[in-house]
């Protein structure tokens, strides 16, 4: 599935991933391929991206390496998943 992480400053990531876990306002949840369409608000926490993640050099410092992926700290945001495409608008 395809993931885009966008902030007001730049697109931090755009590429294929295995799964994404996000800090939803009602608790953390994870999305895998073929997940039902969803739109949700995000709260402060970590967006965890799993898979063979290749980051651009200019944004590597914003991410933390975790087991089988990377993590990005956010203050808030929204997420939309539809047709195996996830868009995270992060603050």
The total of structural domains in the chain comes to 1
- Rounded Cα distance between 58 and 88, Å, is 19
Tell me what pLDDT residue 89 has.
98
Q: Which domain holds residue 78?
A: 2-90
Both tokens assigned to 25: 């306002």
Could you tell me the CATH number of the domain that includes residue 24? 2.60.15.10
- Per residue in 24-67, pLDDT tens? 999 999 999 999 999 999 999 999 999 999 999 999 999 999 99
Instruction: Report angle CA 25, 85, 34 to the nearest 5 degrees.
Output: 85
């Amino acid at each position: 599935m395809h993931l885009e992480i966008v902030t007001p400053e730049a697109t931090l990531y755009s590429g294929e991933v295995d799964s994404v876990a996000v800090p939803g306002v009602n608790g953390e949840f994870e999305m895998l391929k073929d997940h039902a369409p969803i739109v949700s608000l995000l709260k402060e926490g970590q967006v965890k991206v799993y898979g063979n993640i290749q980051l651009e050099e200019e944004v590597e410092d914003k991410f933390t390496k975790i087991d089988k992926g990377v993590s990005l700290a956010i203050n808030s945001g929204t997420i939309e998943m539809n047709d195996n495409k996830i868009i995270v608008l992060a603050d």
